[in-house]
Amino acid sequence: MSLFAGVVGCPTIKTVGVHLEKFAATLDGVGAVSPRYWRSSSAALVHRQRIYTAEDRSERQPLAGARSVLMFDGRLDNRDDLIEALGIGGAGIPDSALVLAALERWGDGAIARLVGPFALAWWDDGDRRLLLARDSLGHRALYHADTPDGFAFATTPRALLALPEVQRRIDEAAMAAFLVDLPLPPGSTYYKHIRQIPAAHVAVWQPNKFELRRYWQPDYSKKLQYRRDDDYVEAAREHLTRAVRSCLRTDRPIASTLSGGLDSTLVATTAARLMAPTRLMALTAIPAEGLSLPKFGKNRFVDEGRYARSTADLHNNIDLHLVVGTGVQRIETEPERMFLSTGWPVRNTLNIGWFTPMRELAEAQGIGVLLQGSGGNHTLSWDGIVGLRDAARSGRLVRLWREISHLARSRDLSFAQTMWSLALRPLLPIATPQWFDQLRRRPAPPLMNTFSIHPNFATAHQVDSGKRSHMMGAKFGGEETARREALELYQSHAQVRSGLRAIYGFDLREPLRDLRLLEFCFAVPSDQYLRNGVTRWLARRVLAGQAPPEVVSNPQRGVQCPEFLNRLLPRRAEFLATIEELERSPMARNCLDLPRLKSLAHSLPTEPAAAHYIPYAAVLERGLHAGRFIRWVEGGNG
């Protein structure tokens, strides 16, 4: 767990020194130790370690081997397998030493053997060859840029932006994708002159040569076939236990988020079992008591606290902290701090503020690792609904009829309504439902109405058609399409989490995004996720006995940041002032529909019942956050 940067191909020692000074000044953040350097006539490398595990205390990077040098940011979750395969001593050996031994033994093929979050740079000074790689899901970030002297790379865009040769210019195609919640074009960033190594890829640089290749992708065709339903549950528990145990490797205090839902409850209860009798700090975000909130419908709940309490009461070593939001957070009104550490805008800015008091409490308590349940919706707690489309397409009519019948009763809908919306409508050509809507004189509103993007900017970058295609895939595709699109979106934005370490100093770990767990869940048959109308059936059976029935069987989903209007209203004057500033930026005027944002700022409702999330949170707040990022890149706000 570290920060690193380097430049290769430098012609002179003087140039090398200049780069090192600029890099070292930007590789900062809570918990980063003093920088260490490695230099030659053709390379300059700088590394700063963060200490999260006992093995981290022995790190001495950049690490020189027999013929090469390595810089590694990450955590190996298959240390024992590598130690056995390499036949080397294992107790206390740093992760970087294992990785370097693997690279010098197996060459580039070693990358596919690594399990866990990582980004690495491997330099062979004799051959003037650089290999860069990121883990399969993209948990760690790695950027690069061409310079007149050669090739620069770093784990943060800020380091590359410190070089005068790397211009601070927005990549318009990437910004357009962000504004409509699409994955970024492969390899792109929000900076025109900075690229990133995509998740699950390795890149090789040599003078006048750059090659990029994918080394991992999920096998969507693979399906498990166990004899009994319980066999899937036992296997899922084994994978979950291994994933959580991997995330517990630290010599610092551990905390976990604990909501009223399945995902964080799966993680927190598994961690508590594995850690016992050591105590686990659990954090639950709740709205202030008596606060007036919008109506979210019968399928949602806002009181996470009572469910978290009932779960914590079953475990003697969980110390539950119900954390009440304390109003607007500094990270919301001054997002430049996040831009500095991540180099990126954030997709859900309100949730960053909603979770800030929890993270600040964890920081104050000296927590070194914070476990989260994010990612479960696409792995262990997959709801199985999309599988009904595949059942209809493949003619599995008995299963289709049974599930539609149960779901219709549970949702208080007619059988015909449920069959149409979940199974039959997705079978039609994509244009057919739109034709029916037009025939009934119910045309859909323009798609871009749900985003802050300027209509002309959307047209110029063709994101309207791209977003429509993405949404149609979600609405009409089967399980493979839905999983692929969710994975691509996560891989496109996962690196933002790397920057949060610099702000809070603890390591954010997500066991439900463990690669081995993900591959297992993708191979589990659809009927294990949906049975007799019970969605997320696999996760509920895995959790049985570890959480109370009211949590295990709850069909509702929790609402994050339910008091969004209460967080937006005090910022009306700030919003209007920001819009006035953005109107002076040609780039912001080009990208954002500023007249619409101004109208929304003026029309912020004062009654929660009148507030709708999308116009004010997803359009107004996110749009202005994107505008602040644009001005930051331009140098307009510090």
Residue 454 has pLDDT above 70, yes or no: yes
Q: Would you say residue 327 lies in a domain?
A: yes
**What integer pLDDT is reported at residue 60 of this predicted model?**
94
| Burial class for 357, CB neighbours closer than 10 Å (0-12, 13-18, 19+) | middle
- Bridge partners, residue 256, by sequence: 282, 371
| Helix, strand, coil in percent for the chain, rounding step 5 | 50, 15, 35
Structural domain includes residue 585: yes
User: What is the β-pairing status of strands 507-509 and 369-371?
Assistant: parallel
Q: Of 539, 562, 585, which residue sits at a domain end?
A: 562
Condensed to tens digits (0 to 9), the pLDDT of residues 412-422 reads: 889 999 898 88
Sign of CA pseudo-dihedral 204, 209, 210, 215: negative
Q: What is the overall mean pLDDT for the chain?
A: 89
Lowest mean pLDDT among 65-79, 115-129, 347-361, 372-386: 347-361
* Domain-located, residue 103: yes
Burial class of residue 418, CB neighbours in 10 A (0-12, 13-18, 19+): buried
279 in any annotated domain: yes
21, 59: one domain? yes
DSSP conformation class of 191? B
pLDDT at 427 over 80: no
356 found inside a domain: yes
How high is the pLDDT of residue 179? 92
256 in the same domain as 135: no
474 confidence band (pLDDT: 50, 70, 90): low
Are residues 374 and 433 located together in one domain of the fold? Answer: no
The per-residue pLDDT for 190 is: 94
pLDDT digits (tens, 9 = 90+) for 541-584: 999 999 999 999 999 888 888 888 888 999 999 999 999 999 99
* pLDDT digits 0-9 by tens, 204-219: 999 989 999 999 999 9
Render 492-525 in DSSP notation, one character per residue.
HHTTHHHHHHHHH-SEEE-GGG-HHHHHHHHHS-
- pLDDT in the model for residue 380: 96
Q: Domain containing 393: what range? A: 387-425
Tell me which of 146-155, 342-351, 624-633 is least confident: 342-351
In 101-226, where do the E strands start and end?
A: 118-124, 129-134, 143-147, 150-154, 195-196, 201-206, 209-214
- Outline where DSSP puts E strands in 325-457: 369-371
Asked if the model's pLDDT at residue 472 lies above 60, the reply is no
Q: Sign of the C-alpha dihedral, residues 359, 25, 172, 149?
A: negative
Question: How would residue 303 be classed by pLDDT, with cut points 50, 70 and 90?
Answer: confident
| pLDDT for the residue 270 | 98
pLDDT higher than 90, residue 21:
no
Q: What is the pLDDT of residue 465?
A: 65
> Phi and psi at residue 246, in whole multiples of 5°?
-60, -35
Domain boundary among 145, 180, 214: 214
Q: Percent of the chain scored above 70 by pLDDT?
A: 93
Residue 423, judged by CB atoms within 10 A of its CB (0-12, 13-18, 19+), counts as buried
- Residue ending a domain, among 544, 562, 580, is 562
First CA to last CA across the chain, in angstroms? 28
For residue 637, pLDDT beyond 50: no
CA 615 to chain centre: 23
**Tokens for 434?**
């739109």
107 and 30 within one domain = yes
Over 70: is that where the pLDDT of 475 sits? no
CATH of the domain at 281: 3.40.50.620
| 430 vs 597, more confident | 597
Do the annotations mark residue 303 as ligand-binding? no
- For residues 161 and 237, state if they share a domain: no
Check residue 470 and give its pLDDT: 57
Return d(Cα 288, Cα 162) in angstroms, integer. Answer: 43
Residue 276: what pLDDT?
Answer: 96
pLDDT in the model for residue 638: 44
Over 60: is that where the pLDDT of 636 sits?
no
- Residue 333 corresponds to which tokens in the numbers above? 């009104």
Do 79 and 146 share a domain, yes or no? Answer: yes
Q: Which residue has the higher pLDDT, 200 or 635?
A: 200
Q: Domain for residue 488, yes or no?
A: no
Is 586 a residue whose pLDDT tops 50? yes
Q: Are residues 242 and 371 in the same domain?
A: yes
pLDDT at 1 over 80: no
Q: What pLDDT, on the 0 to 100 scale, is given for residue 292?
A: 83
Structural domain includes residue 224: no
On the question of pLDDT at 522 being above 80, the answer is yes
The CATH number given to whatever domain includes residue 35 is 3.60.20.10
Residues 524, 468 share a domain: no
Instruction: Quote the pLDDT of residue 468.
Output: 57
Instruction: Please tell me whether residues 501 and 457 are part of one structural domain.
Output: no
The answer on 249 and 350 residing in a single domain is: yes
Residue 222 inside a domain? The answer is no
The mean pLDDT of 327-340, rounded to a whole number, is 86
Q: Are residues 209 and 238 in the same domain?
A: no
Find the angle CA(346)-CA(352)-CA(356) to the nearest 5 degrees. Answer: 150
Q: How many domains does the chain have?
A: 5
| Same domain flag for 68 and 194 | yes
Specify the pLDDT at position 473: 55
pLDDT (tens digit per residue) in 492-512: 877 777 777 778 889 999 999
Least confident of 149-153, 276-280, 598-602: 149-153
